[in-house]
Amino acid sequence: MLIGQFAIVFPQNGKYKIASGLYKRVIDFLKDETDMEGDSSEKRRALLLAAHLNVAMCALKCDEHLEAKKHCDEGLEIEPQNVKGLFRRGQVCVCVCVCVCVCLWCACTC
């Protein structure tokens, strides 16, 4: 899959928005391919999971926490005990908690 190969290069160069767009194209392509059977179905699920978690990683790098959580949740729907998905969703929770704490601190000191 050519899009997936290009998408790997962009995060390595800090181009997270471009990579995220390419991963989303993979998701759009694969989400409608539901009539696969056997090995093809498993490959589809694995690619969808990887694409969702990679979009989540890109969103985290761009501080887009709601987008990251959405894609973590969608990836975890595919494989609920996926360690990378659980870790990235945990990263989202930590980032959001830090943001809330800073907002509360600023409100208390003003």
> What mean pLDDT is predicted for residues 7-30?
80
Taking 90 as the threshold, does the pLDDT of residue 11 lie above it?
no
pLDDT (tens digit per residue) in 23-50: 999 999 998 887 778 888 899 999 999 9
Instruction: Say if residue 6's pLDDT is above 60.
Output: no
pLDDT at residue 103 is higher than 60: yes
Q: Is the pTM of this model over 0.85?
A: no
Q: What is the rounded distance in angstroms from the CA atom of residue 38 to the CA atom of residue 64? A: 36
In this prediction, residue 83 carries a pLDDT of 95
The distance of Cα 47 from the centroid of its chain, to the nearest Å, equals: 12
Map residue 37 onto helix, strand or coil: coil
Domains of the chain: 2-109 (1.25.40.10)
User: Which residue would you say has higher pLDDT here, 1 or 36?
Assistant: 36
